[in-house]
Structures are given as C-alpha cells and as structure tokens.
Amino acid sequence: MTQLELRELADGVWAWLQPGGETGVANAGVIADDDGLTLVDTLMVRSQWEPFAAAVEALDRTVKRVVLTHAHVDHVGGTGKFRNAAVYASAITSNLLDQPMPLDAYKAFMPAFADEFDDLAELGTRPVSHLVEGAANLTPRVEVLPAAGHTPGDVMVLVADADVLFAGDLCFFGVTPLAFQGDPQQWATMLDAIVELADTIVPGHGPVGGEREVRELQSYLRHCVAGEIPSGPWDGWLDRAERDPINIERAALLRDERDEIPPSMLKAIGLP
Ligand SMILES: [Zn+2]
C-alpha cells in the first residue's frame, strides 16, 4: 500500500485522502487552533486509522476535538483511538453510534475489510460527547454546520479563514454517491449552498475538488431523481453499477413517501 500523508491545504489545515474512495475508503481532516487540533472523521478499520493517527501524532499537538460528519462506519471507526478528545456530532449520529454494530451487514457490504471488522467490534467506537444542534463555532477557526441529504444526521466542517469545507459524504468526487439513507432531491438542493461556502472542498470520498465537481454530483443526483442516468461526467466514476439502482430506487421510494432502505441495498448487505 502506498504511504499516505497529511496534505496541507492551507496553514494548519490538512486532508487525509485515502486513494480510490470506494465503499469503506473515506477521507479525514485535521485543523489546528491555538489550543490544539480538531479532527474531522476517523476512518474505519485499524489498517486505515493507525497511519492517520501516527501522522496526527507527528504534528505534536493535542487532539482536543473530533467532529463526526455522520454515523457511517467508514467515518467513525477510529474514534476510540482519540480517547481524550471531545466528540461532536448530530443527535441522530449519536443515537446511531449507541446501537450495536451490524457486523454481518458490514462484512457482506465491504468484503475487502471483512477480516478487520471483528477487531473494530471489539474496540468499539466512542460515544458522542457534544451534540451539534445548529451552526456553531467550536473554535476561532472551526465551524460546524448541520446538513442533510446523505443521511438525516449530516454535519460539515467549515474553515472559513482558509476557504476550506470538509463536506463529509455530502460530497463524493470521482466516486458514485450512495444515498440508501439519503434523499437525492434534498441532497442536490443542499449542494447549491455548499458551493457558496468555500472554494476548496474535501469530500468524504475521492480527491479534493471544488464547484465543478459539486455541480457534476448535483446533476447526477437529479438524474437519479428523474429515474434515468444519461451519459455524462459520471461515466468513469467508481461503483456506478452497484449504486445507480440503489440511488434511483431510494429517490422513487421517497417520492411515494416511503422512507425505506432500497431493495438493492438490502441485497448488497446480504438481506433478502
Ligand atoms: Zn456515508
């Protein structure tokens, strides 16, 4: 595996970008303030969060806060490593993290990491210690912003002085988004606000981007709502075959006011 490193996007603002960005392979972020560091998400399994934690340790600053953008396991698995940090997330994320992990579903959905999930289950993750109930400045640099669209409990992290937004899974660049718990229509609308927030956007999955990538994602989501995806810039995205049906089915269910997991997602996690 290639050696990853923290990529400094601006003074005291770093992204940890896992190449590929497919299922289970997410990004994280680090922001420095005078009192210490704020992390954005903690990746999933030990082979991912250990090198990230080592790079954070090499900055030689206290980790004061962890912001979890949502409860999906590829963003929260390493939280236990940062034992002394305050953990910020939405109430919905907090509730989900208090539930037992659906290990069999994880193993079925992310077979590449099946061997590592028992370790994750043993370690557990950390509960949320601080609820994000509205837009709030956690530090002079770090602002948390409630969002919605990918899951009902999304939050994002804005570093306005550096013009950088950590969008969590509101943004997937070069990778097909996954809306099995989301609302493609609401998500597409949310992206109008996101392009106004910052020029540099760190997605939950894939490389750093900006307005062009956000608009491509928006257009893809609108096609999912319409029920048909024509040829476009998404032709080369990862995981199209698996995720197109999930996203289209989810949009159709919501149109019928059925807030349900799409059948193709149930199949992907090994349920009939
Ligand atoms: Zn997610």
Q: What is the pTM of this model?
A: 0.96
Which pLDDT score, from 0 to 100, does residue 172 have? Answer: 98
DSSP string, 8-74: EEETTEEEE--SS--TT---EEEEEETTEEEEE---SSHHHHHHHHHHHHHT---EEEEE-S---HH
Residues of the chain predicted below pLDDT 70: 1-2
Q: Tell me, in angstroms, the distance from the centre of ligand 1 to residue 150's CA.
A: 7
Which pLDDT score, from 0 to 100, does residue 270 have? Answer: 83
Q: Tell me, in angstroms, the distance from the centre of ligand 1 to residue 148's CA.
A: 11
Residue 202: strand pairing partners: 166
Q: Tell me, in angstroms, the distance from the centre of ligand 1 to residue 64's CA.
A: 24
Q: Tell me, in angstroms, the distance from the centre of ligand 1 to residue 26's CA.
A: 9
What single-letter amino acid sits at 133?
E
Q: Tell me, in angstroms, the distance from the centre of ligand 1 to residue 75's CA.
A: 7
Which pLDDT score, from 0 to 100, does residue 46 have? Answer: 97
Which pLDDT score, from 0 to 100, does residue 259 have? Answer: 94
Measured between alpha carbons, how far is 173 from 159 in angstroms, rounded to an integer? Answer: 20
The set of residues, in sequence order, having a beta carbon less than 8 Å from that of 161 and lying 6+ positions away, is: 141
Measured between alpha carbons, how far is 183 from 250 in angstroms, rounded to an integer? Answer: 7
Residue 164: strand pairing partners: 159, 200
Closest CA to 68 of 29, 43, 95, 40: 40
Which pLDDT score, from 0 to 100, does residue 271 have? Answer: 80
Which pLDDT score, from 0 to 100, does residue 2 have? Answer: 61
Under the phi-then-psi rule, with left for phi > 0, alpha for psi from -120 to 50, and beta for the rest, what region is 126?
beta
Q: Tell me, in angstroms, the distance from the centre of ligand 1 to residue 158's CA.
A: 18
The pLDDT tens digits of the residues spanning 133-174 come to 999 999 999 999 999 999 999 999 999 999 999 999 999 999
Q: Tell me, in angstroms, the distance from the centre of ligand 1 to residue 204's CA.
A: 7
Q: Tell me, in angstroms, the distance from the centre of ligand 1 to residue 174's CA.
A: 15
Distances (CA, A) of 253 to 101, 218, 266: 26, 19, 14
